[in-house]
Amino acid sequence: MKLLFYLLDTSYEVRDNRPVILIWGLTDSGDPVLILDDTFRPYFYVLPEDKVDLTTLATRVKTLSRPPSPITKVEMVERRYYGKPVKVLRVETVIPEFVREYREKIRKIEGVRDVLEADIRFAMRYIIDRSAIPCTWYEAEVEEVEEERRYRARVYRLLSGLKQAKRDLPPDLKVVAFDIEVYNPAGSPRPKHDPVIIIAAYDGREVKQFLAEESGKGIRDAGAIRSFVSYVKELDPDIIVGYNSNGFDWPYLLERAKINNVRLDVGRVKGAEPRSSAYGHISVPGRLNVDLYDFAQEIGEVKIKSLEEVADYLGVMKKDERVLIPWYRLYEYWDNEEKRRTLLRYSRDDVIATYGLSEKFLPFAIQLSALTGLPLDQVGAASVGYRLEWYLMREAFRFGELVPNRAERRAESYKGAIVLEPKKGVHENIAVLDFSSMYPNLMIKYNIGPDTFVEGECEEDECYVIPEVGYKFRKEPPGFFKNVLTTLLRLRKQVKSEMKKYPPDSPMYRLLNERQKALKVLANATYGYMGWSGARWYFRQGAEAVTALGRATIRMAIEIAKSLGLEVIYGDTDSLFVKYDKDRVEEFIRRVGEELELEIKIDKVYRRVFFTEAKKRYVGLLEDGRVDIVGFEAVRGDWTEIAKEVQEEVAKIVLSKGEVSEAINYVRKVIADLRAGKIDITKLVIWKTLTRPISQYTAEPPHVAAAKRLIKAGYKVEVGDKIGYVVVKGAGRISDRAVPYIMADPKDVDVEYYVKHQIIPAALRILRYFGVSEKALEGVGKARKTLLDFFGKR
DNA sequence: GCGGCGCTACTACCT
DNA sequence: ACAGGTAGTAGCGCCGCG
């Protein structure tokens, strides 16, 4: 029979010493299916040294064959390695786990230059080789397998190859959000001691909450966990979403389940529990476990990535429409009968917000998955570099190009982009021009990549010579990166024009929009990937060539602008800020296109824009009255809320109204409020990320000192955590007075520190250029200030 | 013992 | 766990100072 299905994920099992690929999917009516394919075998390549006889090598390889996973095939095949045709051995065995062993033995054989593609996980190998791409539709000839009772899905055996089906929109994916609350009376919850008190789940229709039971012996969570397991089995979701569920909920639940002797049997393979897998994600057999925190991480505008902040920012659940409880006080709400109702509301809001986030993030994740081939549950957990790498590996397979091994190497830094010295002050009517995808287009134009690099002599008409660095790249044939980037940019263009056929609120339009975003992300990551020492296709000279070309390009663009009499105010990497003289700007765009053969476009026009002497910092007033703040304290996550608020307001007053005195009065008022204790302590918290384990700091900056205080009080801090602290009164270093805000008494806050080190510097950063001094903001002193206010009011 | 100075450490931003 | 360029604060060691 023919089966049409949407592919969710692949995995494999070894049965009777043979691997069977499990293809998890959904029919168009949304029923789970499992398609078994036992025809696929693990393999890898042996790359010989020059002039080594392949037949002899093949014989030697074969002698290594051992049960239970013999070497079943050694073939001589033609592939390409860094673009050059090579003859290699394709070595096939039976059990995927034995690949590593063979790889190590074969590596030691004389005449073997390298063993390639022996480190690609079997399920991913299948995805690439059979083009079994997650989040896309397939049609296949299958037969039903009746005797399979181990799975919570209808089981088929694959009889044909997979045929891509012409469908785009996913079927009805059953999504469930879950979230646990934990009893934490002694700081951070410890799974060995602290039970789970609530497990909440929401499927888009109904919230379920499974509560721990209290008896004389304490809180018991076994029942709640059991009920949750039954609930998941009954609901049978395709996607399970959580917020930091890979980092917290799953590991915690697994540990509690173990302690309670409960099997966390929530997958589609009966009896199988979730387990740690690639990129630190947790894999739930047969379902897609997606941690939305991974995607939240990519929203730069939100500095504190808590569920409530992210949900608020995305409009999923506004902070003022929900119950909030400080995480370190959750246990109090459990202990108190009245407060427990609030706790239940809180847990309910959390799980509904989590579900809401899935609606925001999954459409993009699905497109990224369909492009990279990484299953949906891994694509979020994988970093940008790995996402691109999987895409490259798919493309390499298509081109018959061998995938280089990952190598341990030291990063070599190199020169980057140009940043122009800004012309400080206020400028009127400024156009910001951007090169479209500058680095990808330079890579295409100059055919840059590891396989097109020429080390020796090269005829001038056959090679591009890169300015400054002098590297040479063959003009023909197009290299791997050029091919990949051309495809990415072409697809993106196609998708964007396809979008025009649909109304903006239609499902297809939205799908295509997410797809073009995913294509853009991959294209833009390619240059950085090439300069990443962890990349399989690492190529420092290539990255160096790209930045050199970028510098040359922007210099030439500046020359063109100047020759047209266009004043350049500022520029960074691929952008130029110029006086917006419409005719000249149009001519500029035309000439850049013609002379540099690159597209430059107007990104925005500022009615007014303000620069200090600092690079990478400006404030711009847009035509519609909105104000862009770039680089300044107001957009940084490590300045207090109050300082950021003041700076933003000052910027707006000065730029939109041109009223310096109004700005001064405003700052004075805030300082007075602060001194009067009218500012909430939450606006005085300084947040800084712990970027390494505490022991690895050579100095003791305030956030590290605060983190040490947290640890002392029983809290766990981990790398990547944001430490929030306030500065309290007293003597000595700031570090000596940096107290975690959850432990601080508002009475102890050193208000003068905040005046001197937060509000005044943030305000002055802008006001200084309008002739305002520190004294004008604060120097008048407290007493006279009050008098001034008094007179002011009369 | 302490303020000033210059350097280093550290973080978060921009493109 | 994609790159380099940049601004800015605080820590820290050193110097001078009867």
Would you say the C-beta of A276 is within 7 Å of strand C? no
What pLDDT score does A495 carry?
97
What's the rounded Cα separation, in Å, for the pair A537 and A188? 42
Q: Are A676 and A764 in contact, with CB atoms under 8 Å apart?
A: no
CA of A338 to C1' of C1 (A): 46
Q: Among A27-31, A204-208, A667-671, A784-788, which is the least confidently predicted range?
A: A784-788
What pLDDT score does A781 carry?
43
pLDDT: which is higher, A793 or A593:
A593
Q: Where are the alpha helices (DSSP H) in A319-404?
A: 330-335, 337-372, 376-379, 384-399
CA of A376 to C1' of B2 (A): 60
The answer for residues whose C-beta is within 8 angstroms of residue A611's C-beta and 6 or more apart is A422, A423, A424, A425, A427, A569, A570, A617, A618
CA of A700 to C1' of B9 (A): 9
Rounded to an integer, the average pLDDT of A121-128 is 98
What pLDDT score does A779 carry?
59
Record the tokens describing residue A111, joined without a space.
Answer: 């005449």
pLDDT of A33 > 60? The answer is yes
CA of A648 to C1' of C13 (A): 37
pLDDT per residue over A356-383, tens digit each? 999 999 999 999 999 999 999 999 999 9
What's the rounded Cα separation, in Å, for the pair A109 and A434? 53
What's the rounded Cα separation, in Å, for the pair A535 and A538? 5
Q: Are A499 and A509 in contact, with CB atoms under 8 Å apart?
A: yes
Q: How confident is the model at residue A147 (pLDDT cuts 50, 70, 90)?
A: confident
How far CA A302 is from CA of A74, A174, A651, in Å, comes to 54, 29, 20
Coil, strand, or helix at residue A535?
A: coil
Torsion sign, CA atoms A188, A193, A197, A198: positive
Could you report how far apart the first and last alpha carbons of chain A are, in Å? 89
The owner of tokens 């997650």 is A134
Amino acid (one-letter) located at A695: S
What pLDDT score does A785 carry?
38
**Which nt sits closest to A573, CA to C1'?**
B15
Give the closest residue to B13 (Cα–C1′). A631
The answer for residues whose C-beta is within 8 angstroms of residue A91's C-beta and 6 or more apart is A43, A44, A45, A46, A61, A71, A73, A74, A102, A106
The answer for residues whose C-beta is within 8 angstroms of residue A764's C-beta and 6 or more apart is A772, A774, A777
CA of A706 to C1' of B4 (A): 28
CA of A754 to C1' of C8 (A): 16
**What is the per-residue burial (b if ≥16 Cβ within 10 Å, else e) of A62-100?**
eeeeeeebbbeebeeeebbbbbeebebbebebbbbebbe
How far CA A492 is from CA of A92, A136, A392, A516, in Å, comes to 37, 18, 16, 5
pLDDT of A728 > 80? The answer is yes
Would you say the C-beta of A534 is within 7 Å of strand C? yes
Q: Are A354 and A199 in contact, with CB atoms under 8 Å apart?
A: no
Other CB atoms closer than 10 Å to residue A188's CB: what's the count? 17
What's the rounded Cα separation, in Å, for the pair A751 and A748? 9
What pLDDT score does A791 carry?
37
CA of A736 to C1' of C16 (A): 27
What pLDDT score does A106 carry?
97
pLDDT per residue over A58-73, tens digit each? 999 999 999 999 999 9
Looking from the CA of A525 toward its CB, the CA atoms found within 13 Å total 21
What's the rounded Cα separation, in Å, for the pair A267 and A80? 41
- Largest distance between two CA atoms of chain A: 101
Would you say the C-beta of A243 is within 7 Å of strand C? no
Coil, strand, or helix at residue A736?
A: helix
pLDDT of A788 > 50? The answer is no
- For strand C, give the nucleotides within 7 A of a protein CB: 1-12
**Which nt sits closest to A577, CA to C1'?**
B15
Would you say the C-beta of A111 is within 7 Å of strand C? no
What's the rounded Cα separation, in Å, for the pair A44 and A75? 11
Other CB atoms closer than 10 Å to residue A1's CB: what's the count? 9
How far CA A453 is from CA of A80, A83, A225, A444, A445, in Å, comes to 15, 10, 58, 14, 14
- Going through A66-151 in order, the beta strands assigned E by DSSP cover 73-81, 84-92, 112-116, 137-144
Q: Are A57 and A91 in contact, with CB atoms under 8 Å apart?
A: no
Would you say the C-beta of A614 is within 7 Å of strand C? yes
What pLDDT score does A780 carry?
52
pLDDT per residue over A673-705, tens digit each? 999 999 999 999 999 999 999 999 999 999 999
**Which nt sits closest to A690, CA to C1'?**
B11
A409-416 long-range contacts, CB within 8 A, separation 24+: A409/A533, A409/A538, A410/A533, A411/A533, A412/A533, A412/A540, A414/A531, A414/A540, A414/A543, A414/A544, A414/A547, A415/A468, A415/A544, A415/A547, A415/A548, A415/A551, A416/A547
Would you say the C-beta of A759 is within 7 Å of strand C? no
> Is the previous residue joined to A68 through a cis bond, with omega within 30 degrees of 0?
yes
A215-222 long-range contacts, CB within 8 A, separation 24+: A219/A183, A219/A195, A219/A334, A220/A195, A221/A195, A221/A196, A221/A197, A221/A256, A221/A260, A222/A260, A222/A261, A222/A262
Which one-letter DSSP state was computed for residue A1?
Answer: -
What pLDDT score does A793 carry?
34
Amino acid (one-letter) located at A648: E
Which one-letter DSSP state was computed for residue A657?
Answer: I
pLDDT per residue over A468-523, tens digit each? 999 999 999 999 999 999 999 999 999 999 999 999 999 999 999 999 999 999 99
**Which nt sits closest to A521, CA to C1'?**
C2
pLDDT of A596 > 60? The answer is yes
CA of A732 to C1' of C18 (A): 27
- CA geometry: angle A656, A657, A663, nearest 5 deg: 105
Q: How confident is the model at residue A215 (pLDDT cuts 50, 70, 90)?
A: confident
User: To the nearest whole number, what is the mean pLDDT of chain A?
Assistant: 95
Rounded to an integer, the average pLDDT of A146-164 is 93
Record the tokens describing residue A630, joined without a space.
Answer: 């770039």
**Which nt sits closest to A697, CA to C1'?**
B9
- For strand B, give the nucleotides within 7 A of a protein CB: 8-15
What angle separates helix A480-499 from helix A384-399, to the nearest 10 degrees?
100
Would you say the C-beta of A612 is within 7 Å of strand C? yes
CA of A382 to C1' of C1 (A): 9
What pLDDT score does A794 carry?
29
Record the tokens describing residue A780, joined without a space.
Answer: 């008048």
What pLDDT score does A216 carry?
82
Amino acid (one-letter) located at A547: T
Query: Given 3-state DSSP classes, what are the helix, strand and coil percentages for chain A, each rounded to the nearest 5?
Result: 40, 25, 35
CA of A195 to C1' of C15 (A): 58
**pTM of the predicted model, to two decimals?**
0.95
Q: How confident is the model at residue A778 (pLDDT cuts 50, 70, 90)?
A: confident
**Which nt sits closest to A416, CA to C1'?**
C4
Closest by CA position to A380, among listed A303, A275, A297: A297
Would you say the C-beta of A527 is within 7 Å of strand C? yes
Would you say the C-beta of A529 is within 7 Å of strand C? yes
The owner of tokens 């940008």 is A384
